[in-house]
């Protein structure tokens, strides 16, 4: 499992094409994106053929389960038997790692979050998706289709997987009273100094920006992914201050489970699946959506522009958004499913209520990962915002 750190040079190559862009441009044949930036013209698959025998997948942990983690958690084996497509899965720890892996051309399909999807689209690494070939696409929540992070000019670039929030996890035997705010991980006087953890990715700067948006109104932050120089500096300063409290940053989910089990970490950002696994291992932990809201993700299954196994890739995409498989992954990972019929298929009949699958008001508190651009995505025209390459450079200095 990689730590998610990759060479800045390789990363910059993937993101600098977006620098100085923003807003919606006009549409040419290939489609155009931020600031009129043209999307490479790549044809979508016209018709589904026979499976090629295997499919190479890049995914988040918990998205491609074949029973090896938990015998009762398996939506891969049946797919392999039914289609003849053997699933070869590579788990990535961060969106940066997913972009780097997809650029190799060795993988067919990826579960991309919003801070990776645009880089993949404009980099020419993924192809538009022919949703007519996905029989389950019609049942995907309309609120997840044709969004800024998974389409360009109304052309879909994938199948929505689900959505969820980045939560605050804590050990209930150590952290009392129970936290209700992100202030728990930013308070310089925290009694848990050295045992606080945070997600190891430049996109975590948005978590600090969200906290400042709610607690420092004078900064006038309207979107945690659209930060001008002053706003960005405030977020970076907060994270440099937080660095004194951090015991370790995590991007490998198994390491966060181990750290909370051992008590080396007692408080910090997490995903619901990590909380589930940590609890299953007997550690006393809980996770909450703090009062300020949270960052989060709406992931999209995207197919490589260079897919060696395109038919198996489409068969996989259709399978993972099918009611039963999508219910299984949503329940295991701890997120809202994308298929509205999945709510009737979950083992826990309250799952969709717990994860607010049909509650748009809840998701208004969640700021989905988005690629920061120099042209402010909050609509401001009079300033320049910090783009993802600036976020990447700042993250290096924050960690020292």
125-146 CB burial, b ≥16 within 10 A, e <16: bbbbbbbebbebbeebbeebee
Q: How far is the CA of 366 from the CAs of 25, 197, 200, 210, 254, in angstroms?
A: 27, 20, 19, 10, 25
User: In the chain, what percentage of residues exceed pLDDT 90?
Assistant: 79
pLDDT band at 362 (very low <50, low <70, confident <90, very high): confident
Examine the domain organization and report whether 171 and 155 are in the same domain.
no
Q: For residues 228 and 273, which has the higher predicted lDDT (pLDDT)?
A: 228
Assess if residue 284 is contained within a domain: no
**Could you tell me if residue 288 is inside a domain?**
no
Please tell me the predicted confidence (pLDDT) of residue 35: 45
- If asked whether residues 222 and 353 sit together in one domain, one would say no
For residues 96 and 160, state if they share a domain.
Answer: yes
pLDDT at 37: 65
Quote the distance between the C-alpha of residue 178 and its chain's center: 27
What's the pLDDT tens digit per position in 83-107? 999 999 999 999 999 999 999 999 9
> Residue by residue, what is the 3-state secondary structure of the chain?
CCCCCCCHHHHHHHHHHHCCCCCECCCCCCCECECCCECCCCCCCCCCCCCCCEEEEEECCCCCCECCCCCCCECCHHHHHHHCCEEEEEECCCHHHHHHHHHCCCCCEEEECHHHHHHHHHCCCEECCCHHHCCCHHHECHHHCCCCCCEECCEECCEEEEEEECEEEEECCCCCCCCCCCHHHHCCCCCCCCCEEEECCHHHHHHHHHHHHHHCHHHCCCCCCCCCHHHHHHHHHHHHHHHCCEEEEECCHHHHHHHHHHCCCCEEEECHHHHHHHHHCCCCEEEECCCCCEEEEEEEEEEECCCCCHHHHHHHHHHHCCHHHHHHHHHHHCCEECEHHHHHCCCCCCHHHHCCCCCHHHHCCEEECCCCCCECCCCCCCCECCCHHHHHHHHHHHHC
CATH number, domain with residue 120: 3.40.190.10
Looking at the structure, do residues 98 and 112 belong to the same domain, yes or no? yes
Beta strands 159-165; 294-304: pairing state: antiparallel
> Is residue 16 in some structural domain?
no
What pLDDT digit, counting tens, does each position of 372-388 carry?
888 898 989 999 999 99
Report which of 171, 150, 78 is spatially closest to residue 338, judged by C-alpha positions: 150
Q: Is the pLDDT of residue 46 over 90?
A: yes
Lowest mean pLDDT among 62-66, 151-155, 383-387: 151-155
Spell out the residues 6+ positions from residue 217 whose beta carbon is closer than 8 angstroms to its own. none
Q: What is the mean pLDDT of residues 30-45?
A: 70
| CA torsion through residues 252, 256, 258, 262, sign | positive
> Are residues 174 and 119 part of one domain?
no
What number is the average pLDDT over the span 126-130? Answer: 98
Token couple for 255 = 């390491």
- Whether residue 282 is contained in a domain is answered as no
Query: Mean pLDDT throughout 222-232?
Result: 97
Is 37 inside a domain boundary?
Answer: no
Q: Is the pLDDT of residue 192 over 70?
A: yes
For residues 106-129, average pLDDT: 95
Is residue 10 predicted with pLDDT exceeding 60? Answer: no
**What are 87's two structure tokens?**
């699933």
Residues in the chain, total: 400
pLDDT of residue 364: 83
pLDDT at 272: 87
- DSSP state for residue 302 in the 8-state scheme: E
CB 92 within 8 A of CB 346: no
pLDDT at 368 over 50: yes
Report the pLDDT averaged over residues 198-212.
97
Domain membership of residue 48 (yes or no) is no
Q: Do residues 157 and 227 share a domain?
A: no
- Residue 14 within a domain: no
- Cis before residue 333, ω within 30 degrees of 0? no
**pLDDT of the residue at 4:** 32
Cα separation, 225 vs 190, in Å, equals 27
Q: Are residues 190 and 264 in the same domain?
A: yes
**pLDDT higher for 202 or 34?**
202
Structure tokens at 142: 């309309």
pLDDT of residue 355: 87
Domain of 236 in residue numbering reads as 167-270+372-399
Please check the confidence at residue 335 and state whether its pLDDT lies above 90.
yes
Q: Are residues 382 and 238 in the same domain?
A: yes
Q: What is the DSSP letter of 163?
A: E
Contact in structure between 252 and 231 (CB atoms under 8 Å) = no
Q: Is residue 279 part of a domain?
A: no
- Which position has the token pair 């500096």? 233
Least trusted range by pLDDT, from 18-22, 118-122, 307-311, 377-381 = 18-22
145 and 190 in one domain?
A: no
Reported confidence tier of residue 276, pLDDT bands at 50, 70, 90: confident
Lowest mean pLDDT among 4-18, 135-149, 277-291: 4-18
Asked whether residue 16 carries a pLDDT value surpassing 60, the answer given is no
Please tell me the total count of domains within the chain: 2
**pLDDT value at 70 more than 70:** yes
Q: How far is CA 282 from CA 130, 208, 271, 377, in A?
A: 45, 31, 17, 43
Closest CA to 250 of 233, 279, 271, 228: 271
Least-confidence region, from 218-227, 277-286, 343-352, 353-362: 353-362
Averaged pLDDT score across all residues of the chain: 90
Q: Is 266 found in the same domain as 199? A: yes
Regarding whether 198 and 263 lie in a shared domain, the answer is: yes
Span 169-186, average pLDDT: 98
Q: How far apart are CA 150 and CA 253, in angstroms?
A: 25
pLDDT tops 50 at residue 3: no
- Residues 266, 393 within the same domain: yes
Rounded mean pLDDT, 173-184 = 98
pLDDT value of position 15: 38
């Amino acid at each position: 499992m990689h730590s998610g750190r990759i060479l800045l040079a390789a990363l910059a190559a993937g993101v600098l094409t977006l620098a100085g862009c923003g807003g919606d441009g006009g549409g040419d044949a290939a489609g155009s994106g931020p600031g009129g930036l043209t999307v490479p013209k790549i044809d979508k698959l016209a018709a589904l053929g026979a499976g090629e025998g295997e499919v190479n997948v890049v995914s988040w942990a918990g998205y491609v389960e074949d029973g090896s983690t938990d015998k009762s958690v398996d939506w891969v084996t049946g797919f392999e038997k039914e289609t003849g497509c053997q699933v070869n899965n590579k788990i990535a720890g961060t969106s940066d790692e997913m972009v780097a892996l997809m650029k190799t051309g060795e993988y067919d399909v990826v579960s991309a979050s919003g801070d990776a999807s645009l880089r993949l689209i404009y980099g020419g690494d993924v192809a538009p998706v022919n949703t007519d070939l996905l029989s389950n696409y019609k049942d995907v929540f309309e609120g997840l289709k044709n969004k800024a992070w998974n389409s360009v000019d109304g052309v879909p670039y994938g199948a929505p997987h689900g959505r969820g929030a980045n939560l605050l996890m804590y050990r209930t035997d150590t952290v009392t009273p129970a936290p209700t705010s992100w202030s728990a991980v930013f308070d310089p006087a925290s009694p848990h100094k050295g045992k606080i953890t945070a997600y190891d990715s430049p996109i975590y700067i948005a978590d600090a920006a969200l906290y400042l948006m709610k607690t420092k109104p004078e900064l006038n932050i309207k979107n945690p992914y659209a930060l001008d120089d002053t706003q960005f500096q405030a977020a970076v300063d907060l994270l440099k201050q937080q660095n004194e409290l951090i015991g370790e940053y995590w991007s490998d989910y198994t390491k966060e489970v181990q750290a909370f089990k051992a008590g080396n970490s007692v408080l910090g950002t997490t995903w619901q699946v990590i909380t589930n696994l940590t609890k299953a291992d007997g550690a006393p932990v809980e996770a909450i959506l703090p009062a300020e809201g949270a960052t989060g993700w709406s992931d999209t299954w995207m197919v490589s522009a260079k897919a060696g196994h395109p038919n198996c890739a489409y068969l996989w995409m259709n399978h993972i958004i099918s009611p039963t498989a999508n219910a299984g992954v949503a329940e295991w990972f701890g997120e809202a499913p994308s298929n509205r019929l999945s709510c009737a298929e979950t083992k826990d009949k309250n799952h969709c209520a717990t994860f607010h699958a049909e509650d748009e008001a809840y998701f208004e508190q969640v700021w989905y990962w988005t690629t920061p651009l120099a042209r402010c995505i909050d609509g401001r025209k009079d300033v320049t915002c910090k783009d993802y390459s600036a976020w990447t450079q700042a993250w290096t200095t924050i960690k020292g």
